[in-house]
Amino acid sequence: MATALRYLNASMRILFFGDIVGRSGREALARHLPALRARLTPDLIVANGENAAHGRGITPKTFAEILALGVDCITGGNHIWDQREAIPLMEREPRLLRPLNAPAGTPGSGAWRGVLPDGRVAVVACLMGRLFMDALDCPFAAAARLAEAHPLGRGAGAILVDIHAEATSEKMALAHHLDGRVSAVIGTHTHIPTADTHVLPGGTAYMTDAGMCGDYDSVIGVRKDIPVYKFTRKLPHAEKMVPAAGEGTACGAFLVTDDATGHARSIEPVRLGGCLPEALPPPQA
């Protein structure tokens, strides 16, 4: 009976971080991740790294730095190709993802199938929205193919989808499109954490945007004087965007899924450090 009860209660714990923005974001992750790992004992750690290298793209050095912290998979978005070094890195490293709905023939992969030490399988995928962004292939069709290829609870114990998009409506629509077929749909790209963490009726956890790992005394991670000047002067050749360098906040979400179904049991926000109010899930037994 005890063995059966343990099986029924078995769960996968997933820690997800929003866009890592520059050095401040990497340092925030390095500062807070060890304590979060001890408190939450995650089985899988995922982070969006498309702004990790000085605010634009990712390099082999920053990729290795993030993995060394214990991150298992790094998702991307519209800036993932900004550093030329990322292209050959993506071709040889399956744990670095570009959008799944990129055109056929684009280097790299949009999904990663990871086998945990205990044999359970987790799938992580990255999609990019099309509203107010470069128009890639349809993210809804790509998401449906992903769910068909990895049946939740059978082909995968958990499926996490990072939807990198500008429009909140597009993110929410994708989550409802996938409800019950993936474990979680979590948004990135706007760098602002939203207060709508909840589990949809079909069992898919949702958050419109996980926020960023970076300095919030800024304009979405950029040194605040630069965009303020651009907005007030409207000069096309103003100073290039530079990441803010103050103390960063580690922002994301903590997800617990049911091993029997792959559906979410809970999702909670994570915010540590910097100038935002703290949000910390309770310790996991």
Residues with a known catalytic role: 79
Token pair of 197 as six digits: 């963490």
Q: Which H/E stretch holds residue 14?
A: strand 11-17
Beta strands in 22-94 (DSSP E): 44-48, 73-75
DSSP-assigned states of every residue in 136-168: -S-HHHHHHHHHHHS-BTTTBSEEEEEEE-S-H
What end-to-end distance do the CA atoms of the chain give, in Å? 20
b (16+ CB within 10 A) / e for 65-83: bbbebebbbbbbbbbbbbb
Rounded distance between C-alpha atoms, residue 29 and residue 43, angstroms: 17
Q: How does strand 73-75 pair with strand 44-48?
A: parallel
Tell me the pairing of strands 11-17 and 212-213: unpaired
